[in-house]
Amino acid sequence: MTSKDRFDLTVNHRQPDSLVVDFGSTSVTGIHVLAVENLRKHYGLEQRPIRVTDPYQMLGMVDDELAGIIGIDAIGAKGKNNSFGFYNHEPLKEFITPWGQTVLVPEGFNTTENENGDVLMHPKGDISIGPSGRMPKTGYFFDAIIRQQPIDEEKLDPDDNLEEYGLVSANDLEYWQKTTQMARATGKAVVAGLGGTALGDIAHIPGIKLKEPKGIRDISEWYMSILMRPDYIKAIFDRQTEIALENFSRLHKVIGENIDAVYICGTDFGTQESTFCSPEQFDDLWLPYYRKINDWVHAHTKWKTFKHSCGAVEPFMSRFIAAGFDIINPVQVNAKGMDPVHLKKTYGKDLVFWGGGIDTQHTLPYSAPEKVREEVLRLCNIFAKDGGFVFNTVHNIQANVPVKNIIAMIDAIKEFNGKN
C-alpha cells in the first residue's frame, strides 16, 4: 500500500494497513529547525545546514532522507512566498541563529537587531521598512510586532483589512501547477495551503508582510471587534470569501487533483480552558463563510478540507462538522474537555483527527522516553480505530525537545505499525 493509498483510506474513515504519518506538510505540523538538526545527528546522517521552510516559526525541512527514516506519508505543496512576504525558495544563503545554529534561508531573509540583541524581520525582507517580527535573543522563533494605527471609527474601511488578499496572477497559477505536479510525483499524500481563506487567523491579522498595515491589526482589538464591530468583520469575511472562491476556481483548473487536502484556516477558537467566543458567535460570524468555502471545494474537487484550531474546542466540534470540514488539527488532548475517547466516539465518524498523537506541552518535552512511548501507543489505539487519524503531535515540535523523546515517539509509531 502506498502513502497515497493509505491516506485515501484514512480520510474516508476506513482502516489502512498502518498509520498515516505527517511531519512537515503544513505550518502547524512541522518540526523546529534545531530539532531537525538533532534528529539528523542522532541517525548519523550527513551534517549540513538545515533549510528553514517557515521563517516565522523557524520550522525546518524534513528532507527525503529523514522522511524515509521516520516513515512520513504526507508532503506539503508550499506557497511561493512566506508569512513575511518574500520568496521562500532558492537561491538560499546561510544564517546564524541566536542559538548558534547555521541554517539555510531564502535570499529575502534580511534581519537587523535592536538594542537588546533581538533579531528583527522586515516586511518582504526590506530593511528600509520598519520591522514586523521580533525574535528575542533568547528565543527560537519570531513574534509579530503590532503596528496598529490609530482607529477612527467613522473611517474604518473593510478594504484595509483585505490589502493582502487578491486574485491569483498568471505567474502564481504557473507556480502552483508546477509545485503540485512535483508533489504528486512523490507518491505521498499532498497537502496545500493555497491561501486567502484565513478568516480572522491571528497569525495574519497583524499583517507582517505589509509595509503599513491599515484597518484592525492589533490582535486584542480584533477580538474586541468580534463583539463591538460584527458588521465590519462580516464585511471583511464576505469579500475575503468571494476572492478565495474565485481563486480556488482558477487554481483548480491548473492543479486538478494533484492535491489531496487543502489547508483552509488556522483561526484558533480555544484557550487551554475554554473557547474564545460563544458557539452562537461562531454560528453568526464564521460558520456561513466556512460552509460556503467547504461546499465549493466538495462540489468541484476531491480535496479534503483542513481546519486548524488549538485549545478546548470540543463545544465547536459539531459546528466544524456542520461547516463542512473534513479534518481537524491539532487535537489538543491536554486542553479542557478534549478527552480523546470522547472525541473519537462522538465525532470520529465525521472528522479526521490530524494530530493529537502526543502532548507537546508536557509529555514530549519533559517526560521520560518510556512515558512518551506509553502515551503515543495509548492515543494511537484510541484514534486510529477504523481510520480517520493522521499521526502528528499537538502542533509543531519545538526547538529544545530532547531528541531521545522524539526518537521514542518515532519508535512508538513504528511499534504501533508493527515495524519495530
Q: Range of 61's domain?
A: 3-416
pLDDT by residue for the chain (420 residues), tens digit each? 999 999 999 999 999 999 999 999 999 999 999 999 999 999 999 999 999 999 999 999 999 999 999 999 999 999 999 999 999 999 999 999 999 999 999 999 999 999 999 999 999 999 999 999 999 999 999 999 999 999 999 999 999 999 999 999 999 999 999 999 999 999 999 999 999 999 999 999 999 999 999 999 999 999 999 999 999 999 999 999 999 999 999 999 999 999 999 999 999 999 999 999 999 999 999 999 999 999 999 999 999 999 999 999 999 999 999 999 999 999 999 999 999 999 999 999 999 999 999 999 999 999 999 999 999 999 999 999 999 999 999 999 999 999 999 999 999 999 999 976
CB-based contact 192:77 (threshold 8 Å): yes
Cα–Cα distance between 177 and 180 in angstroms, integer? 6
The CA distance from 304 to 404, in Å, is: 34
Task: Say which CATH number the domain at 54 has.
Answer: 3.20.20.210
Contacts of 160 (CB under 8 A, 6+ apart): 214, 215
Instruction: State how far the Cα of 339 lies from the Cα of 345, in Å rounded to an integer.
Output: 10
What is the bridge-based pairing of β-strands 133-135 and 119-121? antiparallel
Q: What is the pLDDT of residues 132-141, one digit of tens each?
A: 999 999 999 9
Work out whether the CA dihedral 122, 51, 77, 380 comes out positive or negative.
negative
Distance separating alpha carbons of residues 221 and 266, to the nearest angstrom: 18
- The DSSP 8-state label assigned to residue 17 in this structure reads S
Rounded to whole angstroms, how far apart are CA atoms 82 and 123?
10
Shortest CA distance to 214 belongs to which of 260, 158, 274? 158
Number of domains in the chain: 1
What average pLDDT is seen over the chain? 97
Whose CA is closest to 84, among 41, 132, 36, 48?
A: 132
pLDDT for 151: 94
Strand order in the sheet with 119-121: 111-113, 119-121, 133-135, 143-144
Ordered DSSP codes for 145-200? PP-PPPP-GGG--GGGGGTT--PPPHHHHHHHHHHHHHHHTTTSEEEE---S--TT
AA letter at 135: M
- Give the full edge-to-edge strand order of the sheet including 92-96: 59-60, 50-54, 102-106, 92-96
Residue 397 DSSP label:
B
- Which residues 6+ apart lie within 8 Å of 378 measured at CB? none
Which of 290, 286, 333, 294 minimizes the C-alpha distance to 310? 333
